[in-house]
């Protein structure tokens, strides 16, 4: 079963389809995402080690860095960019990476805005984001079946005696 949801196009680009990767916490691209692999590199992030490459990346928020645009540009250039980006709020610095990539002649994914509550409903779904901002939602994906469960508590080292 599928349904469609309208979103606002923030940066035009090619439409894309992929499993939804709905981040459970905001992320900083600078230091938080490895542009060589597309994996989430921030060890404190709940989705640490998951790859954003080829996913429809749903961002509840971003943690600012003026270098976020450079990381997104590298992801596009290296072929590890998401198929589409769904942001809760427009992040001009991050989205600048898409604009620069497009000006360099690279194929860039579309970036759209949709509230974080709506994004959470995408967990376990496959999404297709059109160039017009329409998001087609299909239920349950293999990505969701293989996604890690909630992070476990981090054990603390015993204090020195």
| Catalytic residue numbers, as ranges | 65
Taking the chain, what is the end-to-end CA distance rounded to the nearest angstrom?
59
10 Å CB burial of residue 126 (0-12, 13-18, 19+) is buried
10 Å CB burial of residue 81 (0-12, 13-18, 19+) is buried
CB 100 within 8 A of CB 70: no
């Amino acid at each position: 079963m599928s349904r469609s949801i309208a979103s606002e196009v923030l940066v035009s680009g090619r439409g894309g389809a992929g499993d939804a990767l709905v981040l459970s916490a905001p992320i900083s691209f600078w230091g938080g995402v490895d542009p060589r692999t597309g994996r989430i590199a921030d060890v404190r992030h709940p989705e640490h080690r998951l790859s954003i490459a080829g996913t429809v990346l749903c961002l509840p928020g971003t943690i600012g860095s003026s270098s976020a645009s450079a990381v997104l540009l590298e992801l596009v250039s290296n072929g590890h960019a998401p198929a589409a980006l769904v942001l809760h709020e427009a992040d001009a610095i991050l989205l600048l990476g898409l604009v620069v990539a497009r000006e360099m002649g690279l194929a860039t994914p579309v970036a759209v805005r949709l509230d974080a509550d709506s994004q959470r409903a995408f967990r376990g779904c496959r999404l297709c984001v059109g160039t017009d901002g329409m998001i087609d939602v299909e239920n349950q994906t293999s990505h969701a079946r293989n996604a890690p469960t909630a992070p476990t508590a981090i054990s603390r080292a015993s204090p020195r005696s």
